[in-house]
Amino acid sequence: MAKPDADRLRPPQGMWRRRIASFGHAVRGVWAALRSEVHLRFHALATVVAIGLGLYCGISRLEWALVALAIAGVWAAELMNTAIEAITDLASPDYHPLAGKAKDVAAGAVLLAALGALAVGLLVFGPHFI
Protein backbone atom coordinates (compact mmCIF):
# COMPACT_ATOMS: atom_id res chain seq x y z
CA MET A 1 0.00 0.00 0.00
CA ALA A 2 1.22 3.52 -0.84
CA LYS A 3 2.57 5.59 2.03
CA PRO A 4 0.28 8.48 3.18
CA ASP A 5 2.92 11.05 2.11
CA ALA A 6 3.12 9.69 -1.44
CA ASP A 7 0.00 11.57 -2.63
CA ARG A 8 1.19 14.81 -1.12
CA LEU A 9 4.62 14.53 -2.78
CA ARG A 10 3.28 13.59 -6.23
CA PRO A 11 3.30 16.71 -8.51
CA PRO A 12 -0.26 18.02 -9.10
CA GLN A 13 -1.69 17.48 -12.59
CA GLY A 14 -2.42 20.38 -14.95
CA MET A 15 -0.33 23.39 -15.85
CA TRP A 16 -2.08 25.90 -13.58
CA ARG A 17 -2.08 23.57 -10.63
CA ARG A 18 1.64 22.99 -11.10
CA ARG A 19 2.27 26.75 -11.39
CA ILE A 20 0.25 27.43 -8.24
CA ALA A 21 2.08 24.61 -6.44
CA SER A 22 5.46 26.07 -7.51
CA PHE A 23 4.39 29.49 -6.25
CA GLY A 24 3.40 27.86 -2.95
CA HIS A 25 6.82 26.20 -2.67
CA ALA A 26 8.54 29.54 -3.28
CA VAL A 27 6.44 31.31 -0.64
CA ARG A 28 7.14 28.44 1.77
CA GLY A 29 10.88 28.89 1.04
CA VAL A 30 10.78 32.62 1.84
CA TRP A 31 8.82 31.91 5.02
CA ALA A 32 11.20 29.13 6.14
CA ALA A 33 14.22 31.38 5.52
CA LEU A 34 12.55 34.26 7.39
CA ARG A 35 11.99 32.01 10.39
CA SER A 36 15.54 30.67 10.50
CA GLU A 37 17.67 33.63 9.34
CA VAL A 38 18.19 36.63 11.61
CA HIS A 39 19.65 38.59 8.66
CA LEU A 40 16.40 38.22 6.74
CA ARG A 41 14.42 39.62 9.64
CA PHE A 42 16.77 42.59 9.58
CA HIS A 43 16.09 42.94 5.83
CA ALA A 44 12.35 42.80 6.54
CA LEU A 45 12.75 45.67 9.00
CA ALA A 46 14.93 47.61 6.54
CA THR A 47 12.29 47.04 3.84
CA VAL A 48 9.55 48.49 6.05
CA VAL A 49 11.78 51.48 6.92
CA ALA A 50 12.63 52.10 3.23
CA ILE A 51 8.95 51.97 2.20
CA GLY A 52 8.04 54.27 5.10
CA LEU A 53 10.76 56.73 4.10
CA GLY A 54 9.60 56.60 0.49
CA LEU A 55 6.05 57.50 1.52
CA TYR A 56 7.27 60.20 3.94
CA CYS A 57 9.58 61.81 1.35
CA GLY A 58 7.12 61.46 -1.53
CA ILE A 59 9.76 60.02 -3.85
CA SER A 60 9.15 59.84 -7.61
CA ARG A 61 8.08 56.78 -9.62
CA LEU A 62 11.64 56.27 -10.88
CA GLU A 63 12.98 56.52 -7.34
CA TRP A 64 10.41 53.93 -6.21
CA ALA A 65 11.62 51.67 -9.01
CA LEU A 66 15.23 52.01 -7.81
CA VAL A 67 14.26 51.38 -4.18
CA ALA A 68 12.17 48.34 -5.21
CA LEU A 69 15.07 46.92 -7.24
CA ALA A 70 17.48 47.49 -4.35
CA ILE A 71 15.13 45.79 -1.87
CA ALA A 72 14.47 42.85 -4.21
CA GLY A 73 18.21 42.50 -4.92
CA VAL A 74 19.11 42.21 -1.24
CA TRP A 75 16.27 39.73 -0.55
CA ALA A 76 17.20 37.62 -3.57
CA ALA A 77 20.89 37.57 -2.62
CA GLU A 78 20.12 36.68 1.01
CA LEU A 79 17.72 33.88 -0.02
CA MET A 80 20.32 32.45 -2.43
CA ASN A 81 22.90 32.70 0.36
CA THR A 82 20.58 30.80 2.71
CA ALA A 83 20.01 28.11 0.06
CA ILE A 84 23.75 27.77 -0.60
CA GLU A 85 24.48 27.55 3.14
CA ALA A 86 21.89 24.79 3.52
CA ILE A 87 23.11 22.75 0.55
CA THR A 88 26.73 23.24 1.64
CA ASP A 89 25.97 22.01 5.17
CA LEU A 90 24.19 19.00 3.63
CA ALA A 91 26.99 18.19 1.18
CA SER A 92 29.90 18.99 3.49
CA PRO A 93 29.05 18.96 7.20
CA ASP A 94 32.78 18.62 7.95
CA TYR A 95 35.34 21.30 7.22
CA HIS A 96 36.33 21.58 3.56
CA PRO A 97 38.03 24.52 1.84
CA LEU A 98 35.52 24.36 -1.06
CA ALA A 99 32.57 24.45 1.36
CA GLY A 100 34.12 27.50 2.98
CA LYS A 101 34.67 29.09 -0.43
CA ALA A 102 31.05 28.46 -1.47
CA LYS A 103 29.76 30.09 1.72
CA ASP A 104 32.19 33.01 1.51
CA VAL A 105 31.29 33.72 -2.13
CA ALA A 106 27.55 33.52 -1.36
CA ALA A 107 28.04 35.90 1.58
CA GLY A 108 30.00 38.20 -0.77
CA ALA A 109 26.96 38.38 -3.07
CA VAL A 110 24.84 39.56 -0.14
CA LEU A 111 27.46 42.13 0.81
CA LEU A 112 27.52 43.56 -2.73
CA ALA A 113 23.72 43.71 -2.92
CA ALA A 114 23.60 45.42 0.48
CA LEU A 115 26.23 47.99 -0.56
CA GLY A 116 24.26 48.70 -3.74
CA ALA A 117 21.08 49.16 -1.68
CA LEU A 118 22.93 51.49 0.68
CA ALA A 119 24.09 53.59 -2.29
CA VAL A 120 20.52 53.73 -3.65
CA GLY A 121 19.22 54.68 -0.21
CA LEU A 122 21.74 57.49 0.22
CA LEU A 123 21.21 58.84 -3.32
CA VAL A 124 17.41 58.66 -3.18
CA PHE A 125 16.71 59.72 0.41
CA GLY A 126 19.83 61.80 1.13
CA PRO A 127 18.71 64.90 -0.82
CA HIS A 128 15.35 64.91 1.04
CA PHE A 129 17.11 65.37 4.37
CA ILE A 130 20.07 67.55 3.42
Ligand X SMILES: Nc1ncnc2c1ncn2[C@@H]1O[C@H](COP(=O)(O)OP(=O)(O)OP(=O)(O)O)[C@@H](O)[C@H]1O
To ligand X, the closest distance from the beta carbon of 75 in angstroms equals: 14
Which of 57, 68, 84, 107 forms a contact with ligand X (CB under 6 A)?
A: 107
Which of 66, 68, 84, 92 forms a contact with ligand X (CB under 6 A)?
A: 92
Q: Which residue is nearest to ligand X (CB)?
A: 100
CA 41, CA 47: separation in Å to the nearest integer? 10
DSSP annotation string for 105-125: HHHHHHHHHHHHHHHHHHHHH
85 catalytically annotated: no
Among the residues of 10-60, which ranges form H helices? Answer: 15-36, 38-57
Which of 34, 53, 84, 99 forms a contact with ligand X (CB under 6 A)?
A: 99
Burial class (CB in 10 A: 0-12, 13-18, 19+), 43: buried
DSSP element (H, E) containing 59: none
Which residues does 54 contact at the CB level (< 8 Å), separation at least 6?
63, 64, 67, 124
- Is the Cβ of residue 70 or residue 106 nearer to ligand X in the bound state? 106
**Options 37, 63, 78, 85, the catalytic residue:** 78
Is 41 an interacting residue with respect to ligand X (CB under 6 A)?
Answer: no
- Is the Cβ of residue 28 or residue 96 nearer to ligand X in the bound state? 96
Where along the sequence are the contacts to ligand X (CB under 6 A)?
37, 39, 85, 92, 95-96, 99-100, 103-104, 107
> Which residues are identified as catalytic?
78
